[in-house]
Amino acid sequence: TDIIQTRLLSKQYGSATAVSNVSMNVKQGEIYGFLGPNGAGKSTIMKMLLGLVKPTGGQIELFGERLLVDSIDHLKRIGHLIETPVFYERLTAEQNLELHGEYMGYYNPQAAREALELVELLGVENKQVRQFSLGMRQRLGIARAISTRPELLILDEPINGLDPEGIHAMRILFRRLRDEWGISLLISSHLLSEIEQVADTIGVIHHGRLIREVSMDTVRAST
Ligand code: ADP
Ligand code: ADP
């Protein structure tokens, strides 16, 4: 089954084309990676999937249902990190998750702790976020996104700016989210080296178009 399906999805900003006729599917339990240079249109596609940007053409189906302008029910089923995450700096990591959970209408302290454990922030959950490094913030952003138990996680450039150790931790985290939590992931990156080792499928985005799709199973099997 498909978690995400787009058909001829397009976005124009005035006369500028940000996304052009993108048709793609993300299967349940899959890690799908968008690969493309800055300005290729990756964020715009993600924002359209999240309902933050209105498409100028094409269709989106999420969880098998057509996305309409006023659809909101599906939002609880999607976690996301699309910009540098913003936190309440003087609240603790755990308090940030609690506030988010209450806002989303689902707060489960156990799920929040499991999320913190998964991103390796259990132990510092009572520290104020203002003491956190970039990598810790990125991981806290992911913990926040998964603390409400979404079925789909959309992450825009989650590895950007991390050191090699942070990148390694992220890779392990993505696989655990897929294998242990059963979450489907859509991840973007401008670097092949970041995405090739985590994605099951890579969609290459260039000038707003999906120019190529590669199944990594096929690649891994032949090497
Ligand atoms: P990527 O995520 O691959 O870096 P983006 O989706 O951010 O690419 O951008 C795709 C193109 O759309 C770029 O040329 C960008 O400048 C343009 N763009 C993105 N958002 C807007 C906006 N709000 N208004 C006008 N142009 C935009
Ligand atoms: P990223 O590189 O993470 O995709 P950008 O720097 O392209 O982000 O965009 C940052 C924000 O500015 C986004 O919300 C995007 O919609 C907006 N934006 C990007 N390009 C333009 C543009 N040419 N005109 C207006 N807004 C833009």
Does an H or E element contain 169, and which? helix 164-179
Q: What is the interface pTM, i.e. ipTM, of the complex?
A: 0.74
Query: Which residue carries 């999937």 as its tokens?
Result: 49
**Total-model pTM:** 0.88
Cα(34)–Cα(43) distance, integer angstroms: 10
Any ligand 1 atom below 6 A from CB of 79: no
pLDDT at 131: 97
Q: What is the CA(39)–ligand 1 centre distance, in A? A: 5
Cα(151)–Cα(32) distance, integer angstroms: 14
Q: pLDDT 10s per residue in the chain (223 long)? A: 899 999 999 999 999 999 999 999 999 999 999 999 999 999 999 999 999 999 999 999 999 999 887 777 888 899 999 988 999 999 999 999 999 999 888 888 998 999 999 889 999 999 999 999 988 998 999 999 999 899 999 999 998 878 888 888 889 999 999 999 899 999 999 999 889 989 999 999 999 999 999 998 777 776 6
Q: Give every CB contact of residue 75 below 8 A, 6+ residues apart in sequence.
A: 50, 51
Q: Which of 34, 43, 81, 188 to mutate to test the pocket of ligand 1 (most atoms within 8 A of CB)?
A: 43
Does an H or E element contain 168, and which? helix 164-179
pLDDT at 223: 62
Q: What is the CA(39)–ligand 2 centre distance, in A? A: 8
Q: Which residues of 135-153 are buried (b: 16+ CB within 10 A; e: fewer)?
A: bbbbbbbbbbbbbbbbbbb
Any ligand 1 atom below 6 A from CB of 184: no
